[in-house]
Amino acid sequence: MDKFVIYGGNYLEGELPVSGSKNTALPLMAASILADGTTVLENIPNLQDVTTFAHVLRILGASVQFDPKEHRMHIDASRVNFPEAPYELVKKMRASFYMLGALLGRAGSARVSLPGGCAWGPRPVNLHLEGMKALGAEIDLDQGYVVAKAPGGRLTGGTFALDPPSVGATINLLLAAVTARGSSRIENAAREPDVIVFGEMLQQMGAKIEGLGSTIIEIEGVDALKPITFKNTPDRIELGTFMIAAAMAGRPGDLIHISNAAPEHLGEAFVDAFARTGTKFSFGPGYVDVIPTDEIQPVSIETAVYPGFPTDLQAQWTVFMTQAKGNSRITDTIYTDRFAHIPELHRMNVNAIVVGNQVVVAGNRPIKGAYVMSTDLRGSVSLVLAGLVAEGETHVQRIYHLDRGYENLEGKLSAAGIAVQRVAYQEFPDPVNETA
Ligand code: EPZ
């Protein structure tokens, strides 16, 4: 098992490069099985979730070659012949559930495990299932597996209104609808950049889609799609995380350059909140420059669907606000109990109180290094951010959570002046042998 050991007190400086988007890479990989032949994906991050998804594709019969140095992936779906996504993989990573739409779209049948539990919240898939039925699928449950069939081997198409505008359900319905016999309409669709970029790949494969980025998406089914070469977009959540890291741990007045970025994907709410902290920043083609201030203003936020404040940045914002000149309130309206990291932050002298789906954070408080435990992807990176400004050493344990969504984080932070090491450790040392 690995952990990060962070020696606090160094300023973050220089440059932080952003990797390809995790939450866009996964649906791009799913789309590849809609076309026989080899799809080439570029700017794919070297992450645990990408490795897991590649494994799902191999089980279906696809051949997947990934060059983590070049961030390029070749997926040949010509021999996909086993329409099943097993529990062992779906339970590890919910996005494997995209195989439901992809297999229905490719072969008119699918057997996909239900995702099961998650570190926070109920995360149901009722909208995915009801949506597939609206497109003409027959859906059954068998031993924890969703068994889906398109009568006559091909979906008819149909209309479905989402509530809430689920990212995952929008993506799954698009995967199924693009090769349906007729036309489909997704109402109250998700508008996240991940969905738009994924939809653009489908269009380049030959799909007929109108309305990406709006709440109404119209799809005209086509008989076949073709494999293409497609470049993934930079990770907007990693970008937001790095902007917060720079604002918290950079030397006031010194510029930090965040490269390979897509600032246009951040969404107004985050950009507005970041500006109100008093941190100076500017956007350019493919980059963001941040100039930290020593007077961080407290800014309360409320998460919402895009272009609202991303729930995937609320844990990071919570830690940012511990360095503000006053108190603030963070409200998560998407996942009402995504606060498993708060008790760990308490161990680092953070004063934050969870009340329902809100956390009230006290500012002006020094953070102290401690041994802390990762609980989930974004919760774990918030502990790393706290470690950047902590007095003394911070040991962030179980960083396999972090490896799911942040590529080579310790390498990027070290190159930017932070004293951080990845260290292997044993969680529960062997009990002393009684007889010794
Ligand atoms: C995606 O999850 C992201 N995951 C999540 O990021 C992100 O937090 C989430 O969107 C919201 O932005 C990936 O892209 C792989 P949703 P997803 O369906 O698709 C409810 C990270 O840290 N809902 O938009 O699962 C649901 O309970 C991850 O990278 C239903 O009620 O999210 C939630 O309250 C974590 N029924 C809301 O919709 C359904 O059938 C939004 O969920 C589906 C969802």
Residue closest by Cα to atom 17 of ligand 1: 168
| DSSP reduced 3-state for 100 | helix
Percent of the chain exceeding pLDDT 70 equals: 97
Mean pLDDT across 257-269: 98
Mean pLDDT across 96-100: 96
Q: pTM (2 decimals)?
A: 0.96
Mean pLDDT across 233-245: 98
Per-residue pLDDT at 435 exceeds 50: no
- Would you state the pLDDT for residue 159? 98
- Would you state the pLDDT for residue 89? 80
pLDDT-derived band at 84 (thresholds 50, 70, 90) equals confident
Per-residue pLDDT at 194 exceeds 90: yes
Cβ–ligand 1 contact at 167 (below 6 Å): yes
* Residue to mutate, 334, 335, 337, ligand 1, most ligand atoms under 8 Å from C-beta: 334
Q: Distance between CA 251 and CA 265 in Å, rounded?
A: 26
Q: Distance between CA 413 and CA 356 in Å, rounded?
A: 34
Residue closest by Cα to atom 28 of ligand 1: 312
- Would you state the pLDDT for residue 85? 84
Per-residue model confidence as pLDDT tens digits over 197-222: 999 999 999 999 999 999 999 999 99
Per-residue pLDDT at 63 exceeds 80: yes
pLDDT-derived band at 123 (thresholds 50, 70, 90) equals confident
* Position in ligand 1 atom list of the atom nearest CA 164: 38
Per-residue model confidence as pLDDT tens digits over 175-189: 999 999 999 999 999
- Would you state the pLDDT for residue 117? 66
Per-residue pLDDT at 386 exceeds 90: yes
Mean pLDDT across 303-312: 98
CA nearest 419: which of 296, 249, 240, 252? 249
- Would you state the pLDDT for residue 121? 67
Tell me which amino acid residue 318 is.
T
Cβ–ligand 1 contact at 168 (below 6 Å): yes
Mean pLDDT across 406-426: 97
Strand partners, 16: 258
CA nearest 238: which of 47, 11, 40? 47
Per-residue pLDDT at 255 exceeds 60: yes
- Would you state the pLDDT for residue 119? 66
Most distant pair of Cα atoms in the chain: their distance? 74
Question: Catalytic annotation on 118?
Answer: yes
DSSP 9: T
Per-residue pLDDT at 434 exceeds 60: no
Strand partners, 343: none
Per-residue model confidence as pLDDT tens digits over 356-380: 999 999 999 999 999 999 999 999 9
Q: Would the CA dihedral through 164, 343, 358, 406 be positive or negative?
A: negative
Mean pLDDT across 65-72: 98
- Would you state the pLDDT for residue 317? 98
Cβ–ligand 1 contact at 85 (below 6 Å): no
* Residue to mutate, 21, 123, 233, 380, ligand 1, most ligand atoms under 8 Å from C-beta: 123
CA dihedral of 335, 25, 382, 257, whole degrees rounded to 10? -130
* Position in ligand 1 atom list of the atom nearest CA 167: 24
Q: Distance between CA 175 and CA 218 in Å, rounded?
A: 13
Per-residue model confidence as pLDDT tens digits over 26-59: 999 999 999 999 999 999 999 999 999 999 999 9
Per-residue pLDDT at 436 exceeds 50: no
